[in-house]
Amino acid sequence: MKKLYLICFFSLVLGRQAVLSQTNKTDVVKLSGGLNAYAGFYKPGGIAARNQSAPFGLSGAVTLTLPGGVSLPFSAVVGNQGSSFRQPFNQFGVSPTYKWATAHAGYRNVSFSPFTLAGHTFLGGGVELNPGMLRVGAVYGRFNKATSSTIADPNLIPSFKRTGYALKVGYGKPNNYVDLVMLRAHDDTMSISSVQASPENRITPAENLVVGITSRLLLIKHIAVEVDAAASSYTRDMFATEVQAEGKNPFVRIFGKMITPRLSTQVTQATQAAVGYQDKWGSVKFQYKRIDPNFQTMGAYYFQSDIESYTVGTTLNLLKGKARISGSYGRQFDNLANNKNAGTGRSIGSLMASFNPDPVFGLDISLSNYGLSQRAGIRPLIDTLRIAQNNLSATLNTRYSIFNEDLSHIFTLTATHQQLSDLNNATAAQTENNNQNLNLGYFFQHNRNGLGANLMLSYTQTSLPQTLPGEANQKVKFYGPTLGTNYAFLKKKLNTSLNFSYLINQQFGQTGKVMTASANAGYQLAKRQNLNIMFNYLNSNTGIQTEKFNELRGNIGYGISF
C-alpha cells in the first residue's frame, strides 16, 4: 500500500503541468512544491558504518491549495535508506470564516479558556459568532477514540470513546471581554467490548463538567485586569456508588441536575489572575495562580496541579528607549491539601538589562536565580534527604559593528556562567557543579562581491561533582577555533562555502581533539532548478586509541521547484 501511495505521489508531481494549465483557466486549484534527487558516498574509518556506503534517493513535497484557502500538503521519500509517505487526511478539518462567523468541521482544536476547553483535538463541528460586542461559541464532537487491547497487542492500554460539548457566551472585544464557558464530556461505557483486568491496564469510564469564566478588562487607560477561573466536577469511575451531594456547595446547587455525584467524584477549582499598569516609562504586573490538587478538565491534555504562586514583574524604559531594565520575582508552593510527605517551595527571580546607545554598539546582561527547598509535610524530613538547591545563571552579550558602503565588520562577545549550589551540606559534594563559557566572534561581509568570512573562538569549562568520597572535583575543558568563508561566483549563480573547526577537549586526564571540515557549492541551473554538492570530513580522537575514528561523506543533489 505504501508503494502505491508513492507511485501516485510522484505521478502527481510529474504531471503537474497538465494540472497547472487547467488551474490557470478555471482558477480551481493551485499546485506548488518541488522534487529533489540525491546521491552520495560514505566512508568510515575506525568504527562500524553508520550509513549506507552509497546513499541515493528521491524526495518531494507538494501542496494542493483548494478554493477557500484549504491546503493539502503531501511529502514522500524513496531511497536505499528507506521510504515514507505523508499526507494530511488522517486528521482533516476546516474552519472557514465569513465576516463575524466562523464554522468548525472535522478534526479541530479550539480554545475557549485556559481551564475549560483549552486546545484539545476533537472530531466534530462547531461555530463561533462575534456580531458586534456579542461573543458566542459552541462545539460538539468526539474527544477520544475507543481502543481496546487484542491478542496481537495485549499490552495496548485501552480507552473509551469520549464525546462532549462546550458552550461559550460573552460580551466585549478581542482584548476587552468577559466570557462564561461550560464543558460537558463523558466516556461511552459500551464503546469497549472488554477491558483488561490487570492493574497496569485497568481503566474506568469517566465524566466531567467544568464551568468557568475568562476575562481581559481594561479598567482605565493604563490598568488592565486578567482573570481565568473554573470549577471542575470530575468523576473517575462512572460505575462507582452514587452519593448524596452537599446542597450548600454553590457548584452543586447551580449545576446539580447535570452531575451524578459518586464516591469517585471530586470537585476542584483553578484560578489565575493578574493586574498590570503600563505607561511610557514601563510597566508593572502582579500575578496570582492557584490550582487545586487533581484538578482536571477533559478539554485539555495536561495541567500542573497542586500549585500556588505569586509573581511580580516590572519593566523600565530609560534614556529615551536606549536602555531597558526588566525583572521579576515569584514564589511557588505545593502540598495545598497537606497530604504529602513533604512540601516543596520554589523561588524564581530574573533580571535583564540592555543598553543600545548607538546602532553600532549594544550590551545585554541577564541574570536568573532559581531556588528549591522542601518543608515537612505529614512526616518529618530527614536532613540527609532534604532537597535545598539554588541555580544561578548569568549571561553577557555585547556587539560592536563597523559599517560602510562596501564592508561590514561585526565583533561579538558572549560569556555565560551557570552554577548549581546545594544548600544541604550532607549532599553538596556529590551534586554541586558549575559551568563557564566564552565565545569571541568576528564576522566580515563585502556587500558588493558577496565575499564573507567568520572566525569564532570558544572556551568551555565544566566542574563536575565528586563521584567518590575524598575525590577532587573533575574539570572538563573544550576550546578551539571555528573558521568559515563564503563567496558567490558567476554573477551570484554559484554560491560556495568552506567551514573548518578544531576543538580540543581535556577530561579525566586525557587530551583529545575533534576536527571537522566541510565544503558546499550550489549552482542555479535555471530559474527553478539548482545543483548542490557537499563534502564533509570528521576526525575524532578522545585520547583513547580504541575510540579514534574518522568519517568522510559526499553528496550531490538536483532540485526543481514549481
CB atoms within 10 A of CB 469: 7
Measured distance CA(367)–CA(168) in Å, rounded: 42
Measured distance CA(196)–CA(156) in Å, rounded: 10
Place of cell 496570582: 288
- Cell representation of residue 311: 509573581
Average pLDDT, the chain: 85
Residue pLDDT, tens place only, 239-258: 899 887 665 667 666 777 78
Residue 199: strand, helix, or coil = coil
b/e map 417-443, b = 16+ CB within 10 Å: ebbbebebeebbeeebbbbbbbbebeb
Place of cell 495496548: 156
Residue pLDDT, tens place only, 412-463: 999 999 988 877 777 777 777 889 999 999 999 998 888 999 999 999 998 8
- Mean pLDDT throughout 178-188? 95
Of 67-81, 118-132, 333-347, 532-546, give the range with the top mean pLDDT. 118-132
Residue pLDDT, tens place only, 39-83: 999 999 989 888 889 999 998 888 878 776 667 778 888 888 777
Any residues with CB less than 8 A from the CB of 304 and at least 6 apart, and which? 291
Using a 10 angstrom Cβ sphere, with 0-12 exposed, 13-18 middle and 19 or more buried, the burial of residue 254 is exposed
What pLDDT is stored for residue 31 in this prediction? 82
pLDDT tops 50 at residue 504: yes
The pTM of this model reads 0.78
Query: Is-contact 230 255, C-beta < 8 A?
Result: no
Rg of the Cα atoms in the chain: 31
What pLDDT is stored for residue 50 in this prediction? 87
What pLDDT is stored for residue 466 in this prediction? 62
Of 193-202, 287-296, 364-373, give the range with the top mean pLDDT. 287-296
